[in-house]
Amino acid sequence: MSNSDYSFRRIFELEACTSCRICADVCPAVKATGNGNLSGMYRLTQLRRILRSRTALWRRLFRFRDLAPSEWKDFSQTVFKCTLCGACQEVCPSGIHLKELWLQIRQDLNHSLYYPEKIDTIRENLDESHNVFGEDNEERSDWVEECQDEPEDRFCKNSADIVYFTGCVSSFYPLAQQIPVALADIFQLAGVDFTLLGEDEWCCGFPLLGAGLDELAGNFIDHNMMSVNQKGAGTVVFSCPSCYRMWQEHYPYQGKFSISHTTEFLLKLVKENSLKFKDSPLKVTYHDPCDLGRGAREFENARMLIKSIPGVELVEMENNRENCCCCGGGGNLEMIDPELSSKITEQKIKEITATGAQAVVTSCQQCVRTITTWVRRNEVPLQVYDITRFVRKALVQ
């Protein structure tokens, strides 16, 4: 146990916390449970105590002691019961980089051996199968069988202009597989030259960062970079915001090719008149995914796509863009505390239905999964779409 998991800048920022409690006001976990111990302010208070207890000077002068095992366990609970949505960082008046700090704490807890058992499952699945679900990675592109016109090469070419990086959830989770199916159909209709990586696509590594296993992500980064380079593509397209953010922040792709989220790429096709829409009367609201919105600062591409479809009326939720409330599906929370994840989703559903919209559109397979699951279980009359499926549905055949 040491303080080496924290950068000097993050340790220095700790002292900037004024205990204003604004982070607690916007935290989806706190709002869902009323438990202030899930707030960022509580975490920072405990972290200061931990770091000082490891420092000889503080121990001698102020008799700081290390946390007892039960206290470590309690601290671990609050750290991992977080969706990593970044809302706290967005509103912090002191400008503390809280999301980075939460990731560094998780890394520390792994090294200190105080972490949820589910973290071992994530580690084992990725180590053995190269995907977060522990499925046979050779089946990563089996969703192609659902496409209207499945080509003999199953979209796995030796080279192409575009690589579509599908992501683990859309590759393996049945509820999300319609997203890559819709995107493949759109690419075919627009004449886009694209390829999949197939079994050569590994997890982007984002779940490892969220689990506090940063040091294991390098192998995944190196492998995926090599797989994309072998295709000779100029652009990599992502429908998963977490994959997109992982590549933005941690992959050395600059100078080799560009990366694009589907919202940006599809809007480009619309502006080039490569996609033709039919009249689609529907009142919808848009949910900003945390990694795409607060993370990548992409708020308008999806909205412009929605507004480009004739007949669609877009209404905004009370909290939108950088203030959008999390769906409950981030930070590996579904695996660690599914009940808390569901409570956060319930809050999101209430905000969505308050708009009077017939449908909610988002740009993230995880958001689609959590919202759709809650809607179906509770029989809420609400349609749920990923932006790709929404665009595909509105296209002239």
Element (H, E) at 60: helix 56-62
* 15 CB-contact burial (10 Å; exposed 0-12 / middle 13-18 / buried 19+): exposed
Q: Would you state the pLDDT for residue 163? A: 98
What's the predicted TM-score (pTM) here? 0.93
Q: Would you state the pLDDT for residue 64? A: 55
DSSP 331-374: TTHHHH-HHHHHHHHHHHHHHHHTTT-SEEEES-HHHHHHHHHH
Q: Would you state the pLDDT for residue 319? A: 97
Q: Would you state the pLDDT for residue 152? A: 86
Q: Would you state the pLDDT for residue 52? A: 78
DSSP structure class, residue 199: G
Burial 316-339 (b: 16+ CB within 10 A, else e): ebeebeeebbbbbbbbbbbbbbee
What is the rounded CA–CA span in Å between residue 272 and residue 202? 32
DSSP structure class, residue 68: P
**For each of the chain's 397 residues, which pLDDT tens digit applies?**
457 777 888 788 888 899 999 999 999 999 999 999 999 999 999 888 888 777 655 455 555 557 678 888 899 999 999 999 999 999 999 999 999 999 999 999 999 899 999 999 999 999 999 999 999 999 999 999 999 878 888 999 999 999 999 999 999 999 999 999 999 999 999 999 999 999 999 999 999 999 999 999 999 999 999 999 999 999 999 999 999 999 999 999 999 999 999 999 999 999 999 999 999 999 999 999 999 999 999 999 999 999 999 999 999 999 999 999 999 999 999 989 999 999 999 999 999 999 999 999 999 999 999 999 999 999 999 999 999 999 999 998 7
DSSP structure class, residue 122: H
CB atoms within 10 A of CB 99: 21
Q: Helix/strand/coil (H, E, C) string of 369-396?
A: HHHHHHHHHCCCCCEEEEHHHHHHHHEC
Q: What's at 26, amino acid-wise?
A: V
Q: Would you state the pLDDT for residue 63? A: 56
Q: Would you state the pLDDT for residue 250? A: 96
Structural domains of the chain, with CATH: 8-115 (1.10.1060.10), 132-269 (3.40.50.1860), 276-394 (3.40.50)
